[in-house]
Structure 1
């Protein structure tokens, strides 16, 4: 069974076809990479899947249910969680509180509603937050302000917020951007372990070595259209991909 299915998905901005008739899927337990040149439509595709951008055509199915047009919070409550290319952390809040915001998002409630939910609800959020901190190795800095974290740890904080929602499907938007080689290697191991533990993942990433080394399948888009969808060994040698992406200016 596929956890995610997108069929003929499109998003047009006036005459610009940012995403043009894309069909693909993510199977249960699969780790799929999404690559393409700058401006190819990768982040727009993620935004369509997660409800942050309205769909012009086609549909998105999550766990067999049509979620096309649903709001981000409704999709998140169903079990889809994501990170963002531009980190969306709160620098003047503690690491723990940042992660708690993610855990709260899975409930579909705001802060005051969570308080009204009583101690049991607060304990659930706290437990989910600590679990996410443990998974990402951030427990020792739980009481630190997010602003005081290194950039690498801020990337893990962004992932921890997504994991605190206890997702059944995780979308990672350029998780290795800005990391050095050692940090990227550690991140690759971390993402592979998340997937090995049963979490389906789809990630956008510019680091080709990372994508080709950890992903079971790679989807390539260029100018809003899908040009390849296969295992890394095939995609790596696809002449259309080499022309559109690997041979480009990136």
Structure 2
């Protein structure tokens, strides 16, 4: 018998309204340990709102969300991060005047139950913070620019920098919000290989992405949102044949 996998995220009948706009409409969804799940849908489908709900940046109007069995109602984003969730953002959020190493160290510090001042004593990071940061830099191929200002990186390497910062928190669940946005075809293919590599090492990943080729090539399971509602959930080949998906997202007549 296969071992029971931990349920990392459970979203139960969640709705999120912004005034008269319903961004997420009665969505139920779960992500288990070891999965690589893609979230797709047209602009305005509610994909980023769903990520913001899971990570505590917005709260549900109705419904409940749990992370690793803990209800997150009322928890702040840093408290949810300490449950093992790390994320990137659709719009890059790096610190351009800090070094690459310092940017990544922010993620490592965020996982600790200490203040940045405590983690940075005597002008240097603790051994544990440094270890996590260097491991994340090695994973993302950024060790050669560790001492560079983040502002000096190319756009593509800034994308990896944000992923490195998330990895430095040593998450159970990595949430990637449109990591291929702005990348060319070659860079996107390399990113796909990188994401698959992370997953093969055991990391659970939740991916929002507009690049259908990337999603369908790396994800084991795809969830489709349209107008805030979940309209499909299954293997990529099954989802691509779903009439509702073809009509709502893939351009079927």
Normalised by the size of structure 2, how large is the TM-score?
0.94
Please list, as runs of the form range in 1=range in 2, the aligned pairs for 1:14-93 lying within 5 A after superposition: 14-93=19-98
Give distance in 1, aligned partners of 2:163 and 2:197: 14
Give distance in 1, aligned partners of 2:120 and 2:40: 42
CA deviation vs aligned residue, 1:4-31 (integer Å, no higher than 9, x gap):
1111111111121111110111111000
Q: Give structure 1 stretches of 5+ with no counterpart.
A: none
Residue aligning to 1:231 = 235
More helix as a share of residues: 1
Normalised by the size of structure 1, how large is the TM-score?
0.95
Which of 55-64 and 84-93 deviates more? 55-64
Give distance in 1, aligned partners of 2:30 and 2:197: 21
Q: Which of 76, 97, 122 is equivalent to 2:102?
A: 97
Give distance in 2, aligned partners of 1:156 and 1:138: 8
Cα deviation for residue 2 of structure 1 reads 1.6
Q: Give structure 2 stretches of 5+ with no counterpart.
A: 1-5
Cα deviation for residue 66 of structure 1 reads 1.5
| Residue 140 of structure 1 pairs with residue 163 of structure 2 | no
Q: Which of 167, 170, 174 is equivalent to 1:166?
A: 170
Q: Is the 8 A contact 1:61 1:67 kept in 2?
A: yes
Q: Is the 8 A contact 1:33 1:215 kept in 2?
A: yes
Cα deviation for residue 68 of structure 1 reads 2.7
Which of 207-216 and 9-18 deviates more? 9-18
Residue aligning to 2:218 = 214
Residue aligning to 2:3 = none
Q: Is the 8 A contact 1:5 1:62 kept in 2?
A: yes
Superposition CA RMSD, Å? 1.6
CA deviation vs aligned residue, 1:86-145 (integer Å, no higher than 9, x gap):
1110111110010011111111433223246x8997111111000000000000010111
Runs of 4+ displaced beyond 6 Å: 118-121
Give distance in 1, aligned partners of 2:136 and 2:106: 12
